[in-house]
Amino acid sequence: MKTKDDIRHDIRVQRAKLTLEAIATKSRAAIERLEGVDLVHHSKAIACYLSKPFEVQTQRFIEQCVSRGKRVCVPRRRDDAQGYAWSWVTPRGAWRDGPWHIAEPALYQPVDPAQIEVAIVPAVAVDRQGNRLGHGGGNFDRLLQNVDGPHLALVFDFQVLDAVPVESHDVPVQWIVTDTDTYSVQAVSDNP
């Protein structure tokens, strides 16, 4: 099996081949699939990542959820300590430039992780068993540890692999949504 660093390198090479237009098109397809997943559609409190330029783009999805009256929280760098915490997004709320130039709410509004019904997370790669490979900092694994609701990886189709290496601190996902398909990790034949 390839190492985590080998897989990250391979995915970076594949992502580099995507044009901005291809990212936008594939993102729209993935978000359309995401909105069709019952557990996302019916959730009133959703945790979601704010995308980097080479990931499935989530900003519009977040804005639409908030405009429909759903509560959405996103990762925000903690002011009082290192690491991240979930923070609620508010309509017309101010944003600031966070680490790695990823937007985050300017005002920290703490979230009780028990309120999160579903968490939508990024991944460098994910396998059909629900093992998720992140960017290597462990930030999402730490954020997900106290979220009891299902975890859903939102990725491009080429990021779904046969297997990814797993360590004891890695938090798995229960669903995978791509621009071409939706997978339930518990049972691939389940209807989302």
Q: Give 76-112 pLDDT, tens digit per residue.
A: 988 776 788 999 998 888 888 887 788 889 888 999 9
Percent of the residues in the chain that have a pLDDT greater than 90, as a whole number = 70
The CATH number of the domain holding residue 171 is 3.40.50.10420
pTM of the model: 0.90
The answer to whether position 114 is within a domain reads yes
Any bridge partners for residue 88, and if so which?
Answer: 73
pLDDT digits (tens, 9 = 90+) for 138-187: 888 889 988 999 999 999 999 999 999 988 888 999 999 999 999 998 64
| d(C-alpha 167, C-alpha 176), whole Å | 19
CA distances from 109 to 8, 104, 112, 126 (A): 33, 11, 10, 30
The answer to whether position 67 is within a domain reads yes
The answer to whether position 141 is within a domain reads yes
Q: Is 154 helix (H, G, I), strand (E, B) or coil?
A: strand
The answer to whether position 43 is within a domain reads yes
The answer to whether position 101 is within a domain reads yes
Percent of the residues in the chain that have a pLDDT greater than 70, as a whole number = 96
The answer to whether position 189 is within a domain reads no
The answer to whether position 16 is within a domain reads yes
Q: Could you list the residue range(s) of the whole structural domain that residue 59 is in? A: 4-184
Q: Residue 136 has what pLDDT? A: 80
Provide the b/e sequence for 53-75 (b: ≥16 CB within 10 Å): eebbbbeebbeebbeeebbbbbb
Q: Report the number of distinct structural domains present in the chain.
A: 1
The answer to whether position 138 is within a domain reads yes
